[in-house]
Structure 1
Amino acid sequence: MEYKFRKASHEDLSHIWEILEQAIKRRKHDGSGQWQDGYPNFAVVQNDIDNGTGYVLADEMTIVAYCAIMVNDEPAYATIEGKWLTDGDFVVYHRVAVSEKYLGRGLAHKLLEHIHGFALQHGIRSVRADTNYDNPAMLKLFEKMGYRYCGEVMFRGTPRKAFEKVLTA
């Protein structure tokens, strides 16, 4: 199956929000506190699209996954209890979610590969991300894809595990 990675549009908003709502419910069902405090919400996704930072993975016309990608734009990463691997430019991504109908097909892995490609296309070799301590699926994905644990960052008063991957061409 060939999936297309592209910038999200306003027409995609309801489909993206449906995917995120599913992911929020899955996190709750798994007993996680992540995404159980009203974040992310519809306005956050709308802001991603308005700012040109929302991206989707699509199967033909069906959106199967979503994430937000920013360059050098994560204030919480300025204060890390630990140390980043690099000091230069970095790509950061948030709000990674895969449609419930497409779970188990390796699409989160594929989405991260596209994020890595995005970074390299912009001449950036550092990719950073974080997740809750109680998100085993994302922690496993980071490990599988060669991310290194760098320390802890705080989001909305909650500690998060921070990771970085240094890309090679």
Structure 2
Amino acid sequence: MLLRQATMADLPQIESIIRDGRELLAAQAIDQWQGAYPTTSILVDDIHQGWTVVLEENNEILGTAALIPGEDPTYKQIDGQWLTKQAPYLAIHRVAVSSHHHGRGLAGQLFQRLFDQIDHAASIESIRIDTHPQNMAMQHIIKKSGFSETGTIDLAAAGMPGTTDFAYERLTANAKPAHLATTETVK
């Protein structure tokens, strides 16, 4: 298995995996990804920006995620507290694995390969991610992958006002003590 940057040729497989995820969430009565999000235009933009990575085995894409650098507008305000303040971080969004390979621990493997890659990026001090409060499977994977729950965020900046997700952060090997949050509550 290898982790690589996605190309436009991967779009049909990525869309299929996203559709699988949408259907699985619907079957579990979880109101996540039940509208148009993530749209094809978002997936295309992620690929063009160089943000999308895919987990591949034998020329088949098993999983995908968008690894986005810079300040994420949805993470500007949190009801809780991030582990870091003013530190460079990456946000992971649009994580999905193929329904044809459930039970293989692919999401965990995808995260581990991302972490291995990120730990070599000296400027990145943490990784942030969020998920729907009812998405217990993703919450389990996130926590098992070393993330700490930091609070809740509102997805208004992502065009979904009134939608609240659980927020998580994981420090990288490059975290600097000066950038770690204090005990003050940030809102």
Alignment TM class, shorter chain as reference:
over 0.9
Once the two structures are overlaid, the 10-residue window that deviates more, 67-76 or 24-33, is 67-76
> Could you list the per-position Cα deviations for residues 109-139 of structure 1 after superposition, in whole angstroms to 9, with x for gaps in the alignment?
0111122123212122311100000101111
Q: Where does residue 167 of structure 1 map in the other structure?
A: 172
| Equivalenced residues, count | 167
Q: Which residue of 2 aligns with 1:5?
A: 3
Partner of 1:129: 129
Aligned-residue Cα RMSD (Å) equals 1.1
Q: Provide structure 1 residue ranges, at least 5 long, that are not aligned to the other structure.
A: none
CA distance in 1, matches of 2:3, 2:60: 12
Aligned to 1:149: 149
Please say if residues 4 and 60 of structure 1, whose CA atoms lie closer than 8 Å, have aligned partners that are also in contact.
no
Show CA shifts across 1:6-47 (max 9, x none).
Answer: 000010000100010010010001100000121012111111
Normalised TM-score (structure 2): 0.86
Amino acid at match of 2:107: A
Q: Secondary structure at the match of 2:17?
A: helix
Matched residue SS, 1:28: helix
User: Distance between the aligned counterparts of 2:71 and 2:40, measured in 1?
Assistant: 20
Q: Which amino acid aligns with 2:118?
A: A
1:115-126 matches, within 5 Å, as 115-123=114-122, 124-126=124-126
- 8 A Cα contact 1:119 1:126, kept in partner: no
Which residue in 2 is equivalent to 1:114? 113
User: Separation in 1 of the partners of 2:143 and 2:4?
Assistant: 25
Q: Which moved more, 1:40-49 or 1:114-123?
A: 114-123
Whose radius of gyration is greater, 1 or 2? 2
Instruction: Please give the TM-score of this superposition, normalised by the length of structure 1.
Output: 0.95
Q: Percent identity?
A: 31
Aligned to 1:33: 31
3-state SS, counterpart of residue 121 of structure 1: coil
Q: Which amino acid aligns with 2:149?
A: Y
Partner of 2:52: 54
**Residues 22, 99 of structure 1: 8 Å contact kept:** yes
Shift of 1:152: 0.8
Q: Secondary structure at the match of 2:13?
A: helix
SS at match of 1:67: strand
Conservation of the 8 A alpha-carbon contact between 1:74 and 1:92:
yes
Deviation at 1:164, TM superposition (A): 0.5
Measured in 2, the distance between the counterparts of 1:103 and 1:136 equals 15
Unaligned runs of 5+ in 2: 175-187
